[in-house]
Structure 1
Amino acid sequence: MSDRIIDSHIHLDMYSQKERVRVLSELELAKVEALICVSNHLKSSKETLRLAHDDSRIKPAFGFHPEQALPTDCEATELLSFIERNQEEMIAIGEVGLPYYLRQDNKEVSRDAYVELLEKLIQKAGALDKPIILHAIYEDAPIVCDLLEKYSIPDAHFHWFKGDLQTIERMAKNGYSISVTPDVVYEMEIQDIVRAYPLSHVMVETDGPWPFEGIFKGNMTHPGMIHQSIKKISELKNGSVEDVYSRIYDNTCRFYRL
């Protein structure tokens, strides 16, 4: 059985140096072929690029995570310039999106300015012909779909997606991809999404170093956890584990042009 996996969304730069060394040293043993490493802002993007220079298994994506204060105009311009300059080494633009959790904590946060920044990043993805990695859940997801449709962006990856059935159907119709974290093992909401979404557009991720509960509680988030996700997905899809491994691996390679 071929049980190769790719972590389609991890914040490797957010691990401690000791943790990063451990993760990278254990990838081969864990049968992890590559890490799609997303970035949170310009400084994070520069660090992710540095890590990629040191290890070819690290595939860097550059972006601005929306669950934080907006960058200044100057900072946003610098990030877009960095993306432009490093487009040949960049596998995707990401992580980008809209600030759902930030708005839950602070009702005074306006989504409009984040939409404007995201629109610029979506336009950049289209201009550079690069995939885009999105943080867009619940009521934010249809707004992001509107932008993707406006600029005819086909290669959209909604990481750790959560949302209603109508949005799921819209995303699937457009051929967008989603990725599933290890919480699929114990979260019914995620399990329902896996049942509803076509396997042809599903990937797996850790979103590390974000920690997980259930059987993973108390453990450092490691790409090897994805093997448990694959087994659960095969159960939810009533398919063989071998087929799910193969299809998800192929989905990820195709989407990220590996």
Structure 2
Amino acid sequence: MRKIIDAHIHFDLYNEQEQIQIIQHMKQDQIEGLITVSEHLESARKNLKLAQKFPNVFPAFGYHPEQKLPTDEELSQLWEFIDNNQEKMIAIGEVGLPYYQRKENQSLKIDGYVELLEQFITFAKKLQKPIILHAVYEDAPVTCSLLEKHSYQKAHFHWFKGDKKTVERMIENGYFISITPDVLYEQEIQQLVKIYPLEQMMVETDGPWPFEGPFEKEMTEPKMIHHAMKKIAEIKRIPVDSIYDTIYYQTKTFYELS
């Protein structure tokens, strides 16, 4: 095992015992850092506290799109929090569009979510911070158009899924994706790894989201990333040490980790 960084984890959603377990295992599991994303203001506050408590936890602040839109008051408080803590955050995130929510409720209007995402993109550009995106399938082209509109390239599409045309567009624009442990058993993700340049790739767990296959009924932990790294090496037909070196370096550079 070589050093790696979990580029997308909801660390605040683990209970305290699980958090301590993950932190205690980081050194032996060669996990150098956790990019912990936020779902809303309270989540952002928790992630800030975790980052202050644990030096290898790096918080991102945002509003997850798979929920009701925030009220004007909630959004105002979130903007104020981000503005006051911009030096302590690693990125804007997790933000994006509500694909899965719309699958359950086809009458859900997307306009407000698009407007909010555009606000997050302009804010990320203003602060020159990376933006961590939840934008899959038909939501990805909309998100690409917003990024192009504002000429902002520092975008990380986490656990991405989408059509070939959108993948080609994202590659051309220099956007990053991150690969989850389901690359071991999901053909769709394996095909994405085959196509997408290694130089625009990171790895993540999206924990505590559970996985299937060899990880069924296991608590999602950053150490699962090492299995994904081996699979990426196998798909890319590149030595696994080179995969580690490239992805580790890119993640540190993208997130400006010292």
* TM-score, normalised with respect to structure 2: 0.99
- Distance in 2, Cα, partners of 1:148 & 1:84: 21
1:13 corresponds to which residue? 12
Matches within 5 A, 1:33-182: 33-182=32-181
Shift of 1:70: 0.7
User: Number of matched residues?
Assistant: 257
1:257 corresponds to which residue? 256
- Distance in 1, Cα, partners of 2:37 & 2:200: 19
Letter of the aligned partner of 1:192 in structure 2?
Q
Shift of 1:154: 1.3
- Distance in 1, Cα, partners of 2:28 & 2:68: 39
Deviations 1:98-123 (A, max 9, x none): 00000001112111110011111111
- Distance in 1, Cα, partners of 2:54 & 2:15: 17
- Distance in 2, Cα, partners of 1:159 & 1:80: 23
Letter of the aligned partner of 1:180 in structure 2?
I
- Distance in 1, Cα, partners of 2:234 & 2:134: 26
1:191 corresponds to which residue? 190
Letter of the aligned partner of 1:73 in structure 2?
D
SS of residue in 2 equivalent to 1:113: helix
- Distance in 2, Cα, partners of 1:110 & 1:49: 32
- Distance in 2, Cα, partners of 1:257 & 1:48: 19
- Distance in 1, Cα, partners of 2:69 & 2:37: 18
Shift of 1:76: 1.0
Which is worse superposed, 81-90 or 154-163? Answer: 81-90
- Distance in 1, Cα, partners of 2:168 & 2:77: 36
Letter of the aligned partner of 2:51 in structure 1?
A
Deviations 1:161-199 (A, max 9, x none): 000110001000010000000000100000000101000
2:212 corresponds to which residue? 213
SS of residue in 1 equivalent to 2:45: helix
Deviations 1:230-251 (A, max 9, x none): 0000011010000000001011
Shift of 1:78: 1.2
Letter of the aligned partner of 1:110 in structure 2?
K
- Distance in 2, Cα, partners of 1:243 & 1:60: 28
2:22 corresponds to which residue? 23
Runs of 4+ aligned residues of structure 1 deviating over 4 Å after TM superposition are none
Letter of the aligned partner of 1:141 in structure 2?
A
- Distance in 2, Cα, partners of 1:80 & 1:141: 24
- Distance in 1, Cα, partners of 2:25 & 2:227: 17
- Distance in 1, Cα, partners of 2:231 & 2:214: 13
- Distance in 1, Cα, partners of 2:135 & 2:90: 20
- Distance in 2, Cα, partners of 1:249 & 1:149: 27
- Distance in 2, Cα, partners of 1:142 & 1:117: 16
Letter of the aligned partner of 2:199 in structure 1?
S
- Distance in 2, Cα, partners of 1:76 & 1:198: 36
* TM-score, normalised with respect to structure 1: 0.99
SS of residue in 1 equivalent to 2:132: strand
SS of residue in 2 equivalent to 1:34: strand
1:243 corresponds to which residue? 242
Shift of 1:210: 0.1
- Distance in 2, Cα, partners of 1:55 & 1:76: 28
- Distance in 2, Cα, partners of 1:78 & 1:167: 34
Shift of 1:17: 1.0
Shift of 1:18: 1.0
